Structure formats: C-alpha cells, structure tokens
Amino acid sequence: MAFPTHGKSERDILEELHEFREKDIPFSSGRILGSMCTKPLPIAEKAYMEFLETNLGDPEHFMGAWEMEEQLLEMIKDLLHAPLDAAGQIVSGGTEGNLLAILVAKSLTGKKEIVVPSHAHFSFNKIASIMNLKLRVVDTSDAHVISINSLRNILSDKTAAVVAVAGSTELGAIDPIEEIGELCYDEHVFLHVDAAFGGFIIPFLKEQGYDLPNFDFLVNGVSTVSVDAHKMGCSAIPLGIVTVRDRRWFEDISVDAPYVSRKKQSSILGTRSGGPVAAAYAVIKHLGREGYQEIASRCMETTFYMKQRLNEVGLDTVIEPVLNVIEVKVKNLKEVMKGLTAKGWHVNPVERLSSFRMVMMPHITKQIIDEFIPDLEEVCKEVGEI
C-alpha cells in the first residue's frame, strides 16, 4: 500500500480500523484459551487515554506522569518485599525486564555465561544473542523445575547470572527459588527471577494460604525480579517492571542523556508513553490486594474445574497445576490442534512436551469450559487420542 497523498475523514478511517479489528479474536469471545494476556480492566482504558501524549523519557515536562511512575514502582517494590535500597524500572514487558536484569548482571560481573533452565522463556535466546553471552541450560527434575544438584554442578567462574522462573511459560511451574537463592547467595552468584507471569498471582495466592514457595526479595540470594502487569496484572500492554536489590546497579548501566530532562537513563527505551503506566497504576489502585486475591482464587477454581473435566474425558496434564496454567498431554498434537482450530478454539501447542497449553485467565469462565470440553472430546475421539 502506498503512503497516502490525500487525507481521509476521521469517520472513514475509524470504519477501516473497525474492519481490521473485526478480524481479531476478542478476549471477551472466550475462545482464547492459551494466552497469558487478558482483557484489561475498563479503568485501564480511561487511564491510558488520559496520559496518551506523555513522555516518561522527559520527566521535567511531565512531572505528574513521573510522580505516578515513581508511585507505581513503590507499590511493586512493596509487593515484592524489596529492601529499602532497591529500585524499579518500568519496561515494556517480560522480555525487556529480563534483558535489563541480565545487562545489570553482565556489567556487575563482567562474565559471559548465563545459566537458564530448559523451561526459560525464549527471550533469553534473544538476550544471549544481543549481549554475546553463552546460555548454559541446567537440567530439570521430574516436576519440571530446576534441579539443585545440576545447578550446583553447572555454576562456574564464568557464570554471570542464574535465571529462575516463578510461573513458567509452558507449565506455570515455580523453580525452588529458596534453595536456588541459598546456593547463589553462598556462591556469590547473581540470581534473576523471571516472574513475568507469576508476579501478579503468586503473592495473592500465598496471602490466601496457598502453599507456594517464596520467590521474591524475601529470598536472600535474589538479585533482580521482573514482573508483567499486562499478564495477571490485568492491565494494558505494554507494561512490565524490573526491580533490582541495590539501586546503584541501575547507575552502573545508566548512560548520560544530555538532551532530555532526566540526565541519566538506565532504561533501554528513550521516549516512553505514560499511558500504560497510568493504566497499571489505576488497575492496581482499583483492585488492591483484595481484588487481586479474588481474581487469583477465581482463576485457580476454573483451573481445577478444567483439570477435572479433562480427566473425565480421559485426558491428563503434564504436571498437577501449580498456578492457573494447564498443560494437556496429547500424542497427536498436530491433529488435535487442527481439530480445535477448526472448531474455533485457540490453545497453544508446546511441541517440546507433546502437549498444548491453556491458561485460565480471568476471561475464562466455567461456562466457557463447559462449551469447550465436548468439542475437545469430539476432536480427540476423531483422531484416536481417547
């Protein structure tokens, strides 16, 4: 399409946009079963629009947006039990959060290898390539979490950082971060916790008595934690936060920013919208811990319901769900995927585990599960799965 010569009316353009949008699958249709994102709370949209023109790279002009950003970071630090010296940085999501954390580790240690589990998010492949680091993959146990013994053996004087995951992308599993933290603390190794998914659900389940391990700054050896507000935070894309135990580490990676009002920047991005920050601020203030607790426990209830319904039709999961992630074992992954897609259901294939992933996000209800299961059963019977 050529760059337009003449402008069009607002009405025509909005109509065009609407046609594009009609081709999307909205979360509200209930058909997106595999995504880690969800429909943002209505207040997110209003907040986002209010700050549409703001630039967080230039806080002198946008003092209000800057203040709001600082307060959001304080709330996240509180959520993650960060010590007084800690600092946070807004990022676009889990990928950039991991990137910034590894950049900190690299610049602090000057070392060249990062140790990641096989279930680490693929963003670490990008990060290793950008920063010219070597990825060492540590073995996992039967529960699909890092094996401490294997970790102990793989650490070396080349290790810049260990990555542990709190809510793995495929399974929602949580690495034994207390044990890993102890090892990393003793060995003086930098430990980054990728809580992109788990960061906005694990704390709220723990508050309700769920038996889940500590994953944040309560664990002594943890150096950095990244969380995503655009996943279980129920806020708008793009919004993640990376937090470091010692604020001086951000100074280590900061560069002079001579032509904007903030004289030093430790962020990767320069110009940044205040919109998503406002959305996350608003959603967090609107829900509070109580609102998030309610969402978290509802998601776990639908998870247990889904699991029960799957078992009833003769299907099983790779692990017992730890969080609201369900990984369904299937022998004929391709055929099952094809059948489900034909029936309008969207789940995520995980070839590595011969299974497909579903995430019981807040937009998934029991009623949707009741509609899904008969279709899944039919598909599975057709391809001889059950």
Ligand X SMILES: *Cc1c(COP(=O)(O)O)cnc(C)c1O
Return residues touching ligand X (CB under 6 A).
36, 93-95, 121, 123, 165, 169, 194, 196-197, 228, 240
Residue number, 202 or 373, with CB nearest to ligand X: 202
Residues 6+ apart with CB under 8 A from 195: 165, 166, 167, 202, 215, 216, 225, 226, 227
Alpha carbon of residue 71 to chain centroid: 21
As to burial, measured by CB atoms within 10 angstroms (0-12 exposed, 13-18 middle, 19+ buried), residue 187 is: middle
Tell me the three state secondary structure of residue 290: helix
Residue number, 38 or 339, with CB nearest to ligand X: 38
State the helix-helix crossing angle for 275-312 and 42-50, rounded to 10 degrees: 160
Q: To the nearest 10°, the Cα dihedral for 316, 318, 322, 324? A: -70
Question: Shortest Cβ distance from residue 197 to ligand X (Å)?
Answer: 4
Residue number, 196 or 333, with CB nearest to ligand X: 196
Question: Shortest Cβ distance from residue 60 to ligand X (Å)?
Answer: 29
Q: How far is CA 99 from CA 217, 256, 303, 385, in A?
A: 19, 20, 31, 40
Question: Shortest Cβ distance from residue 125 to ligand X (Å)?
Answer: 12
Question: Shortest Cβ distance from residue 228 to ligand X (Å)?
Answer: 5
Residue number, 194 or 385, with CB nearest to ligand X: 194
Question: Shortest Cβ distance from residue 69 to ligand X (Å)?
Answer: 18
H/E stretch holding 239 reads none
Q: How far apart are CA 259 and CA 29, in angstroms?
A: 46
Are 320 and 294 contacting, i.e. CB atoms less than 8 angstroms apart?
no
Question: Shortest Cβ distance from residue 121 to ligand X (Å)?
Answer: 3
